[in-house]
A and B are shown apart, each in its own frame.
Chain A
Amino acid sequence: MSFAFNEVAMKEFDIWKKKFPDDPEGRRSLIIPALRLAQRQAGWISPEIAEYVAGITGTAPLQVWSVVTFYSMFNREPVGKNLLQFCTSISCGLLGGEELISHACRKLGIEEGKTTDDGIFTVTEVECLGACGNAPVLQVNDRYHENMTIEKLDALINELRNKEQG
């Protein structure tokens, strides 16, 4: 199965192209935006997707792969539909971030970094999300959930699960 941007992603990619000089250096700047779009579409970055990104940005697959491996937000294996990213950095850590992630792992029956069998949830621990005033913070895909508690986490997991099983 070969990968290609869908219509929405291609349209957004065209907008990104206008932001940078139309030369080899400028096109290299498109690697991260293109990878973000590809990951939004496919959920993760396979070596094949990285090659596609190299193709549309006119860069070498190795240049793309060096970016994929450097940045923490690129998933190099498939993840669940809901990527639960728990901040346990200093302020979240002081206010219960670690208890939240342990609770999520227990409730979902998975270890940190793993995905539930039904593919609905992946639990990961992340570094400071920059919202420490409302610690502890949980990021689900792109969205922040702040001032989290065990009760709010339970409700959120139930809500997300119901939505998927709808």
Chain B
Amino acid sequence: MPEKRIIMDKMEDSRSPLLEFYRSGEGYLALEKALKMQPDEIINEVKESKLRGRGGAGFPVGMKWTFIKRELPGPKYLICNADEGEPGTFKDREILLKKPHMMIEGMIIAAYAMGLDAGYIYVRGEFAEPCGKVDYAIEEAYAAGYLGNNILGSGFSFDLYTYLGAGAYICGEESALLNSLEGKQGMPRLKPPFPAQYGLYGRPTTVNNVESFAAVPPIIINGGKWYADIGTPKSGGTKMFSISGHVARPGVYEIPMGTPWKEFFYDIAGGVKDKKRLKAVIPGGSSTAVLTADEIENMTMDYESCIACGSMLGSGAVIVLDETTDMVKVLHRILKFYANESCGQCTPCREGCDWFFDIINRIYYGQGRMEDLDMFETLGKNISPTTICAFGESFVTPTLSFIRKFRNEFTGYIEKRRAE
């Protein structure tokens, strides 16, 4: 299966961020169509599309949209999660830079379907340039009557704003994002209540990822069934994959869900860089379990197949490791990231990620002990299930996968440095 560009269609054209260019294709036709549909019809199309949340958790988007009680009085909010920060992920940046109108159109349709009054696009603090592109697109959309009061004469009104964060990985977690947007430390909230009941300023709120919103307009134009038929029985449509590391052609590629790994990696991304051999792949961002070259060989690029192989598709961030890769060094760098980024709210995570980093640090610098490897297992069991959000799991899972699958390299480090 080759690339199938639905969201990325015409992205290579330098005019792709502009309204005029977007409208020369199917731009905002989905919004016109949606405003003539009943809100429930829209939600049913999205359900039928089998679109799953593209931020990493893969939760069905259409189902999430049914959680909002539209009859509740008072303001209700729509949030676009553009806090792209999972190491290895860089697909949302492409949309923000090159197709901001597609995401905006998806948001307006979502707001209409759920009866929401205002929206915020939470862009990670480092993305000042992409945020500027979105600001410009929002201005264009207001001027064209797609945002603001009485959109296209439908009687529906919706305001949309951007917001820039200030550097914190954890704000990609939706409830931490809401706290950050409220001007607080970005610490995840205990759930329930979920954002649909108690979100921004305590109001009903829906949070979706950039890519999820961008997928909505083509679903409305062509129908949910059309989108579902592109993918696998459980994962509809196409997905944008970010591929980086030791790969010949790094970048973002949009392919149908269910594309065989081999076709994606060798035919589309060009295989391993410099004709080296493949050692391992981290398939869904640094918080997912590493897969050996053998394990990934027969995988297909969709949520279910990735789980069957022992990992997670996550945000679709594929990191390629060639035969020369020092796995101890890679895990050392991954754990440094998590030690830097824990928000510090839950004790098992706050202390645990520092312990994990201390242990890998001493292995890496030649003071490792054999029992350290078992200590990861013991500590891990006490961290993963005891924290408010999934951050604890996010550093335990990759660590245990590295230790179990590449144990020789770790014991080698411990023995060799001891001998020196």
| Closest chain B residue, CB of each to CB of A64 | B183
Q: Does A102 contact B (CB under 8 A)?
A: no
A148 interface residue per 8 A CB criterion = no
Q: Which of B75, B126, B165, B250 contacts A135 (CB 8 A)?
A: B250
Per the 8 Å Cβ criterion, residues 110-133 of A in contact with B are 127-133
Cβ-based interface call for A95 (8 A): yes
Q: Distance (Å) between the CB of B336 and the closest chain A CB?
A: 9
A150 CB contacts on chain B under 8 angstroms: none
Bound together, the chains give a CA A28 to CA B84 distance in angstroms of 24
Complex formed: what's the CA distance from A94 to B244 in Å?
A: 9
Chain B residues with CB under 8 A of A59: 183
Contact partner of A71 (CB less than 8 A), chosen from B163, B166, B246, is B166
Asked whether A91 lies within 8 Å of B319 as measured between CB atoms, the reply is yes
Given A70-B168, A91-B245, A94-B245: A132 in contact with B90 (beta carbons within 8 A): yes
Does B286 sit within 8 A of A, measured CB to CB? Answer: yes
B208 CB, nearest partner CB in chain A, Å: 18
A128 touching B166 by the CB < 8 A rule? no
B125 and A73 contact, CB distance less than 8 A: yes
How many angstroms from the CA of A156 to the CA of B343 in the assembled complex? 34
A94 and B164 contact, CB distance less than 8 A: no
**A134 proximity list for chain B (CB < 8 A):** 250
Least CB distance, A77 to chain B, in whole angstroms: 16
A36 touches B164 (CB 8 A): yes
Inter-subunit contact A28/B166 (CB<8 Å): no
How many of chain B's residues have a CB under 8 angstroms from any CB in A? 54
Interchain CA distance A28-B167 in the complex, whole Å: 18
Q: Does B161 contact A (CB under 8 A)?
A: yes
Interface string of B302-338 (1 = CB under 8 A from A): 0000000000000001010100010000100110010
Does A84 have its Cβ within 8 Å of any Cβ on chain B? no
Q: A21 contacts B201, CB within 8 Å?
A: yes
Interface residues on chain A, size class: 35 or more
Please judge, given known A-B contacts A33-B164, A130-B127, whether A94 and B90 are in contact too, CB under 8 Å.
no
A144 at the binding interface (Cβ < 8 Å): yes
Partner of A90, one of B90, B93, B126, B319: B319
Q: Are A31 and B246 in contact, CB atoms less than 8 angstroms apart?
A: no
A132 CB contact (under 8 Å) in B88, B182, B325, B330: B88
- CA distance in complex: A29, B201 (Å): 10
Nearest Cβ distance between residue B168 and chain A, in whole angstroms? 5
Q: Which residues of chain B are near A25, meaning CB under 8 Å?
A: 182, 201
Is the CB–CB distance between B183 and A94 below 8 Å? Answer: no
Please tell me if the beta carbons of A128 and B330 are within 8 angstroms of each other in the complex.
no
B106-148 interface with A by 8 A CB criterion? 120, 124-129
B86-107 contacts to A, CB under 8 A, are 86-90, 92-93
Q: A29-B183, A74-B166, A134-B250 are in contact. Are A142 and B129 (CB under 8 A)?
A: yes
Are B125 and A71 in contact, CB atoms less than 8 angstroms apart? yes
* Contact of B246 with A132 in the complex, beta carbons under 8 Å: no
Q: Does B85 count as interface, using CB distance less than 8 angstroms?
A: yes
CB nearest to A34 among chain B residues: B183
Cβ of A105 within 8 Å of any chain B Cβ, yes or no, is no
Taking a contact as CB atoms under 8 Å apart, the answer to whether B333 and A30 are in contact is no
Q: Is the CB–CB distance between A90 and B88 below 8 Å?
A: yes
Residues 67-99 of A contacting B (Cβ, < 8 Å): 67, 70-74, 88-91, 93-95
B347 at the interface (CB under 8 A from A): no
How many Å lie between the Cα of A25 and that of B200 in the bound state?
10
Which A residues are in CB contact (< 8 Å) with B286? 89-90, 128
Is B149 interfacial (CB-CB < 8 Å)? no
Give the CA-CA distance A127 to B246 in the complex, in Å. 19
Residues of chain B within 8 A of A131, CB atoms compared: 90, 93
Check B180 for interface membership: any CB of A closer than 8 A.
Answer: yes
Interface residues of A in 132-152 (CB under 8 A from B): 132-135, 139, 142-144
Q: Which residues of A contact B340 (CB under 8 A)?
A: 127
B321/A94 in contact, CB under 8 A? yes
B243 touches A133 (CB 8 A): yes
Is the pair B167, A90 in contact by a Cβ cutoff of 8 Å?
no
Q: Which of A67, A129, A130 contacts B185 (CB 8 A)?
A: A67
Pair B87/A127 contact, Cβ less than 8 Å? yes
How far does the Cβ of B135 sit from chain A's closest Cβ, in whole Å?
A: 10
A67-B183 in contact (CB<8A): yes
B167 adjacent to A133 (CB under 8 Å): no
Residues of A within 8 A of B252 (CB): 133
- 25 CB < 8 A contacts A-B: A19-B120, A25-B182, A29-B163, A30-B183, A32-B166, A33-B164, A36-B125, A36-B164, A59-B183, A70-B343, A71-B125, A72-B166, A90-B245, A90-B330, A90-B334, A91-B244, A91-B250, A94-B245, A94-B325, A95-B246, A127-B337, A130-B93, A133-B242, A133-B251, A142-B128
- Could you list which residues of chain A lie within 8 angstroms of chain B, going by C-beta atoms? 19, 21, 25-26, 28-33, 35-36, 57, 59, 63, 66-67, 70-74, 88-91, 93-95, 127-135, 139, 142-144
